[in-house]
């Protein structure tokens, strides 16, 4: 169900797409769910389907309602309007302890008076499983998260990364229909976080369990999730694969929230069904982009171009659309990437990024150099809102 | 730079501690006095410890006091824990501020007024004064202390722990019993100890609310002192101090063990 079948979006091809199958039954369905706290609407008529086996991310800034949405699924908050169903069954009125979902808390919420093994066994004890079955399952879980030797430690004797893995094992142990992860990696340092992102993904594939992750970290959502729902002020701004959300954002909000973007406000002057031409005071030679959707001539639109899709030239390329001229105002060298801030004659600053693919460069770009920026028509996205 | 206590620090500690404990040390020393005269040292002896155990009135009073303290402390701790839970968990409900200030009011209310008002209540309801009236009066007195102690712990208790327990399949009461209670247990124990101690040494409220046959130890001691201080009083006071100190040290050690128990 790609909106633009002619464009292959993103660098990843994946055959897993239950949401594209109209006959597939979702595991969880949010149906027009609204939640208010006092006068504030935290979640505003959200409808969302999550499918069996999916790794789904709710992404948004703090206060956008993503945590509230998750807590309603876990049963800690009650929707004011709308329904939440799990496997077709309405969850209304069902307390948290009777819902077949488990949550991994942001603070990990490990029981400080219990050992690691007792923490992991907690959910199984509540299910009244026989003792030897609990012991086997606990060992299995500790092996899964590579904590075999620490079964008899107390939580305050563990490092941050170990605590995170105990919390994960504890939530998975009772075999929930769905695992909810509330900012699971927020407390880890950068290196460990990156490792853990890939570990989480591998774990989810191995278990075949449905994961719902809530995060404000776009990188975390992009790496781990099959689909991302970008939230804004209690509403869903866009749902899609990470590559779709990044390469084909549906609004300036999404384009700007995920990654960096250069936005040009422009007027549409021509649409030949394939290529749209626009004029903008910031681009004297005109702009053009490939766009399938019809956009009314004369209307205002925004052209979004990612910094890495801007090419930097020291020699003037042939004149034409999508060519900008400016001077280098700042250079940010990140090792793997270099970001150039190029100031246009009108005073506007454009971001261009280049991968440092080789160690030796013939003509490095310097501060105050005169440069030209170009981008391909299929690198730009036309946004109408 | 020199580290450690300065001369001023040492002087301050010696003076402060002396001010607090010198009277008690004197009392303990004189409880081992051979002489019948309290202020004259007549050699070491434990005779007053022996003789107090033959003093039926004193023993009866001690037994009443212990029973009152035990029952009222237990009741006050249960009610105080519930009140603290209500104050911390219920969030904003109508009259929350009123409820919390009413819980704390007895902390600053003069004991005489509390005792008098309880007396008036018991008289008007027509309850015969005795063991149960003292017990109820002491529960009223110590309830707010227990609430304050437990509440202080609950405020720093991460509510996500209880949510995690419920999420993992424990009904609310079980989540409380399995997760919240073990984690606030030191505070609950401390609240019980405090309530027990307060009840043990209360004179004012007990003298308003006790009746014949329910004379508590402080009342007995006070009336005995009015007839002249007997060394027996010193002896029983020393035992009381020992009892309270043992309890406090036991709770402290218990907490230390908990903290360092894990291998």
Low-confidence ranges of chain B (pLDDT < 70): 1-3, 91-92, 255, 257-263
Give the position of tokens 């028509």: A377
Whether residue A2 has pLDDT greater than 60: no
What's the start-to-end Cα distance of chain A, in Å? Answer: 22
Q: Residue B75 in contact with residue B66, Cβ under 8 Å? A: no
Residues B82, B150: Cα–Cα separation, whole Å? 9
Q: How many helices (H) and strands (E) does chain B have?
A: 12, 0
Provide the sign of the torsion angle of the four alpha carbons B11, B14, B19, B22, taken in this order.
Answer: negative
For chain B, say whether A105 makes contact (Cβ under 8 Å).
yes
Going by their DSSP bridges, the two strands A275-280 and A101-104 should be labelled as: unpaired
**Residues ≥6 apart with Cβ < 8 Å to A192:** A160, A161
Predicted ipTM of the assembly: 0.81
Two structure tokens written together for A224:
């781990």
Q: Determine the length of chain A.
A: 385
Residues A271, A376: Cα–Cα separation, whole Å? 17
By C-alpha distance, the chain B residue nearest A120 is B168
Given an 8 Å threshold on Cβ–Cβ distance, is A152 in contact with B263? yes
Chain A residues with CB under 8 Å of B161 CB are: 109, 111-112
Chain B residues with CB under 8 Å of A97 CB are: 166-172, 175
**Residues ≥6 apart with Cβ < 8 Å to B213:** B130, B131
> What is residue B168's predicted lDDT score, i.e. its pLDDT?
93
* Segment A169-181, tens digit of pLDDT: 999 999 999 999 9
Residues B118, B122: Cα–Cα separation, whole Å? 6
Rounded to the nearest angstrom, the minimum Cα separation between B190 and chain A is 18
Chain B residues with CB under 8 Å of A171 CB are: 167-168
> What is residue B233's predicted lDDT score, i.e. its pLDDT?
80
Chain A residues with CB under 8 Å of B174 CB are: 126
Give the CA-trace dihedral at B13, B15, B18, B20, to 10 degrees.
-80
Rounded to the nearest angstrom, the minimum Cα separation between A154 and chain B is 6
Give the CA-trace dihedral at A101, A107, A110, A116, to 10 degrees.
100
Q: Which of B174, B133, B145 is nearest to B83 (CA)?
A: B145
Provide the sign of the torsion angle of the four alpha carbons B184, B189, B195, B198, taken in this order.
Answer: negative
For chain B, say whether A38 makes contact (Cβ under 8 Å).
no
For chain B, say whether A111 makes contact (Cβ under 8 Å).
yes
Q: Residue A83 in contact with residue A254, Cβ under 8 Å? A: no
> What is residue B261's predicted lDDT score, i.e. its pLDDT?
47
Give the CA-trace dihedral at A67, A73, A75, A81, to 10 degrees.
90
User: How far is C-alpha A220 from the chain's CA centre?
Assistant: 7
Helices (H), A91-189: 116-126, 131-144, 160-172
Residues A230, A69: Cα–Cα separation, whole Å? 13
Given an 8 Å threshold on Cβ–Cβ distance, is A96 in contact with B167? yes
Give the position of tokens 């050699």: B43
> What is residue B262's predicted lDDT score, i.e. its pLDDT?
40
Probe site for chain A from B168, B171, B182, B184 (most A CB atoms < 10 A): B168
When pLDDT is cut at 50, 70 and 90, the band that residue A4 belongs to is: very low
Whether residue A67 has pLDDT greater than 50: yes
User: How far is C-alpha B235 from the chain's CA centre?
Assistant: 21
SS3 (DSSP) at B25 = helix
Given an 8 Å threshold on Cβ–Cβ distance, is A105 in contact with B183? no
For chain A, say whether B170 makes contact (Cβ under 8 Å).
yes
Q: Residue A110 in contact with residue A123, Cβ under 8 Å? A: no
Give the mean model confidence (pLDDT) for residues A25-48: 89
Residues A222, A240: Cα–Cα separation, whole Å? 11
> What is residue B259's predicted lDDT score, i.e. its pLDDT?
58
Percent of chain A's residues with pLDDT above 70: 97
Rounded to the nearest angstrom, the minimum Cα separation between A151 and chain B is 11
* Segment A223-233, tens digit of pLDDT: 889 999 999 98
> What is residue A169's predicted lDDT score, i.e. its pLDDT?
92
Given an 8 Å threshold on Cβ–Cβ distance, is A95 in contact with B166? yes
Of A107, A122, A174, the CB nearest to B158: A107
Provide the sign of the torsion angle of the four alpha carbons A191, A196, A197, A198, taken in this order.
Answer: positive
* Segment B16-48, tens digit of pLDDT: 988 888 888 888 888 888 877 777 787 888 888
Two structure tokens written together for A263:
């936005």
* Segment B234-254, tens digit of pLDDT: 888 888 888 888 877 877 777
Rounded to 10°, the helix B231-260/B181-200 angle is 170
DSSP, res A320 = -
For chain A, say whether B262 makes contact (Cβ under 8 Å).
yes
**HSE-up of residue B240 (Cα within 13 Å, Cβ side):** 29
Taking one residue from A and the other from B, the number of pairs with CB-CB distance under 8 angstroms is 69
Put simply, the chain B residues between 181 and 200 with a CB less than 8 A from any chain A CB are 182-183
* Segment A42-62, tens digit of pLDDT: 889 889 999 988 999 999 988
Two structure tokens written together for A147:
């904590």
Going by their DSSP bridges, the two strands A210-215 and A349-355 should be labelled as: unpaired
Put simply, the chain A residues between 40 and 99 with a CB less than 8 A from any chain B CB are 74-76, 95-98
Of A103, A107, A113, the CB nearest to B167: A103
> What is residue A190's predicted lDDT score, i.e. its pLDDT?
84
Chain B residues with CB under 8 Å of A111 CB are: 161, 164-165, 179, 183
Chain A residues with CB under 8 Å of B163 CB are: 76, 96, 103, 105, 109
Chain B residues with CB under 8 Å of A154 CB are: 262
In chain A the beta strands, taken as DSSP E runs, fall at 28-37, 40-50, 55-59, 81-86, 89-90, 101-104, 178-182, 210-215, 227-232, 235-240, 262-271, 275-280, 283-290, 300-305, 311-313, 323-333, 337-343, 349-355, 370-374, 380-383
Given an 8 Å threshold on Cβ–Cβ distance, is B167 in contact with A112? no
Given an 8 Å threshold on Cβ–Cβ distance, is B164 in contact with A174? no
**Residues ≥6 apart with Cβ < 8 Å to A334:** none
Rounded to the nearest integer, the mean pLDDT of chain A is 87
Of A106, A111, A126, the CB nearest to B169: A126
């Amino acid at each position: 169900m790609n909106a633009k079948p002619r464009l292959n979006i993103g660098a990843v091809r994946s055959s897993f797409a239950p949401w594209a199958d109209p006959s597939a039954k979702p595991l969880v369905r949010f149906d027009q769910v609204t939640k208010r706290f006092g006068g504030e609407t935290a979640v505003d008529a959200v409808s969302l389907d999550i499918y069996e086996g999916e790794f789904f991310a709710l992404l948004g800034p703090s206060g956008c309602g993503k945590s509230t949405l998750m807590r309603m699924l876990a049963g800690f908050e009650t929707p004011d309007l709308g329904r939440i169903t799990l496997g077709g069954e309405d969850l209304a009125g069902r307390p948290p302890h009777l819902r077949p979902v488990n949550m991994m808390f942001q603070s990990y919420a490990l029981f400080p008076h219990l050992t690691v093994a007792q923490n992991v066994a907690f959910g199984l004890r509540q299910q009244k499983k026989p003792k030897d079955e609990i012991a086997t399952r606990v060992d299995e879980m500790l092996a899964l998260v590579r904590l075999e030797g620490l079964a008899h430690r107390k939580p305050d004797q563990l490092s941050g990364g170990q605590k995170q893995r105990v919390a994960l094992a504890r939530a998975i142990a009772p075999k929930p229909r769905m695992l909810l992860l509330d900012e699971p990696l927020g407390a880890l340092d950068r290196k460990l976080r990156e490792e853990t992102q890939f570990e989480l993904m591998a774990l989810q594939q191995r278990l075949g369990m449905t994961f719902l992750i809530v995060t404000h970290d776009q990188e975390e959502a992009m790496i781990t999730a099959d689909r991302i729902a970008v939230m804004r002020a209690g509403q869903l701004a866009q749902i899609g694969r990470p590559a779709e959300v990044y390469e084909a954002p549906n609004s300036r909000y999404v384009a700007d929230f995920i990654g960096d973007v250069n936005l040009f406000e422009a007027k549409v002057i021509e649409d030949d069904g394939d290529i749209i031409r626009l004029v903008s005071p910031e681009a004297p030679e005109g702009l053009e982009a490939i766009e399938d959707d019809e956009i009314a001539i004369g209307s205002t639109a925004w052209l979004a171009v990612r910094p890495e899709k801007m090419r930097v030239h020291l020699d003037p390329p042939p004149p034409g659309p999508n060519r900008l001229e400016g001077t280098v105002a700042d250079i940010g060298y990140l090792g793997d990437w270099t970001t150039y801030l190029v100031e246009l004659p009108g005073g506007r600053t454009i971001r261009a990024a280049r991968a440092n693919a080789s160690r030796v460069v013939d003509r490095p770009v310097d501060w105050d150099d005169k440069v030209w920026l170009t981008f391909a028509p299929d690198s730009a996205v036309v946004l109408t809102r | 730079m020199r580290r450690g206590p300065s001369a001023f620090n040492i002087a301050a500690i010696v003076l402060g501690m002396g001010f607090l404990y010198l009277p008690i040390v004197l009392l303990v020393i004189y409880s081992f006095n051979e002489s019948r005269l309290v202020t004259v040292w007549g050699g070491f002896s434990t005779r007053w410890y022996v003789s107090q155990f033959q003093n039926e009135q004193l023993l009866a009073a001690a037994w009443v006091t212990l029973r009152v303290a035990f029952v009222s402390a237990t009741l006050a701790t249960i009610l105080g824990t519930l009140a603290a839970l209500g104050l911390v968990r219920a969030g904003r409900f109508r009259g929350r501020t009123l409820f919390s200030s009413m819980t704390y009011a007895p902390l600053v209310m003069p004991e005489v007024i509390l005792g008098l008002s309880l007396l008036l209540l018991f008289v008007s309801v027509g309850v015969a004064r005795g063991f149960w009236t003292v017990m109820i009066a002491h529960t009223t007195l110590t309830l707010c202390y227990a609430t304050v102690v437990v509440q202080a712990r609950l405020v720093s208790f991460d509510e996500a722990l209880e949510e995690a327990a419920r999420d993992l399949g424990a009904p609310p009461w079980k989540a409380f019993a399995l997760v919240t209670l073990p984690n606030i247990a030191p505070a609950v124990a401390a609240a019980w100890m405090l309530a027990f101690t307060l009840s043990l040494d209360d004179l004012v409220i007990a003298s308003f609310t006790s009746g014949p046959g329910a004379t508590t130890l402080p009342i007995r001691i006070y009336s005995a002192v009015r007839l002249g201080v007997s060394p027996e009083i010193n002896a029983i006071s020393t035992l009381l101090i020992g009892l309270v100190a043992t309890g406090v040290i036991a709770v402290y050690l218990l907490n230390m063990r908990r903290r360092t128990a894990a291998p």
